[in-house]
């Protein structure tokens, strides 16, 4: 499994995506594993999902996240500008 720090991941997302086509990529934050990036094919094998077009079309609508939901703590020390 490829290992990337969150800094390396942020610096070169394309590299992480290319690596995820070969094997899952473990992303760390301050030395602790926090995320795994994998290809959709690997994800489907892992979860047992099929690639049946009917099942894909029947998937629920994507959920939109607020920007506050995406906070990973890296910017929490900054004051909000309103």
10-residue mean pLDDT profile of the chain (82 residues): values are 94 95 95 94 84 70 66 52 52
- Between CA 76 and CA 58 the distance in angstroms is 37
Q: Per the confidence metrics, is the pTM higher than 0.85?
A: no
> What is the reported pLDDT for 60?
73
| Sheet (strand 25-29) strand order | 2-5, 25-29, 32-37
> What is the reported pLDDT for 63?
67
**Domains of the chain, each with CATH number or no CATH:** 2-57 (3.40.1620.10)
């Amino acid at each position: 499994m490829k290992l990337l720090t969150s800094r390396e991941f942020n610096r070169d997302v394309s590299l992480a995506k290319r690596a995820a086509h070969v094997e899952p990529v473990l992303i760390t934050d301050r030395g602790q594993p926090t995320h795994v990036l994998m290809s959709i094919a690997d994800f489907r094998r892992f979860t047992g999902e099929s690639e049946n077009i009917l099942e894909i079309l029947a998937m629920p609508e994507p959920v939109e996240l607020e920007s506050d939901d995406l906070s990973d703590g890296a910017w929490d020390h900054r004051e909000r500008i309103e």
